[in-house]
Amino acid sequence: MLLRIPQLLSATQVVQARKVLLAAEWVDGNVTSGHQSARAKSNLQVPEQHPAAREVGGMILQALSSNPLFMSAALPQHVFPPLFNRYGLGQKFDTHVDNAVRQHRLSGLRIRTDLSATLFLAEPADYDGGELLIEDTYGSQSIKLAAGDLILYPSTSLHQVTPVTRGERLASFFWIQSMVRDDGHRRLLFEMDQSIQQLGADLPSHRGVVQLTGVYHNLLRQWAEV
């Protein structure tokens, strides 16, 4: 399931994040690459331990925890501390798949990567190219969102960042270990949760709201790993 989460960060937060990140020291993006990615990747990253990464990463984690759409879709058990990359002229990330397990160097946190996320921090008009191409059951999806918007997608997906031909692409990226490992199960739970919320808003006294909520939690109880 590919899901756009609009305005995870407000315009004010995006401006602040960009100010902090662009003043930071940047290094070769392959500092976090596996063997496969190292041959495909050309970009820059803020080191994981840099104060700028911790400051903006904290802002993002707080926004995620208070975003109902993200919580419903991801059912997060662990969120990898956000990382940050930038792509200048000619830089790209060829087709790859994310590592199944990621370990945070500072905390030692190790997570299974069920979901991948990209949070855009540059406006689409600020650069050409730099689209995130994600392969799913419906073919290749081209993603280039407004600054502050996030795309959530299965980490099993083949994906790439196309070469930047003008300007600069700035983004955050990270991974989520969900309480529900199976993507199909997560999709069913998400769609049911959204339907329950809509029914509750339209017919708050309908007994079906309680019954469906019970079904939702019984399925979550059956599928969740906590």
Q: With a cut of 80, say whether residue 207 has pLDDT above it.
A: yes
Q: How many CB atoms lie within 10 A of CB 19?
A: 11
Q: With a cut of 60, say whether residue 200 has pLDDT above it.
A: yes
Residue with tokens 């795309």: 151
Q: How many CB atoms lie within 10 A of CB 214?
A: 10
Radius of gyration of the chain (CA): 18
Digit-coded pLDDT (tens) for 8-23: 999 999 999 999 999 9
Select from 3.40.50.300, 1.20.1440.230, 3.40.1000.10, 4.10.860.20 the CATH code of 183-223. Answer: 4.10.860.20
State the average pLDDT over residues 91-95: 95
How confident is the model at residue 205, as a pLDDT? 86
As a whole number of angstroms, the distance between CA 29 and CA 42 comes to: 7
Digit-coded pLDDT (tens) for 101-115: 999 887 888 999 999
User: What value does the mean pLDDT of the chain take?
Assistant: 94
Six-digit token string for 91: 């830089």
State the average pLDDT over residues 85-91: 96
50 in a known ligand binding site: no
169 in a known ligand binding site: yes
Helix, strand or coil for residue 137?
coil
Which superfamily does 3-178 belong to?
Answer: q2cbj1_9rhob like domain (2.60.120.620)
As a whole number of angstroms, the distance between CA 155 and CA 183 comes to: 10
pTM of the model as a whole:
0.93
For the chain, what are the domain ranges? 3-178, 183-223
136 in a known ligand binding site: no
With bands split at pLDDT 50, 70 and 90, how would you rate the model's confidence at 190? very high
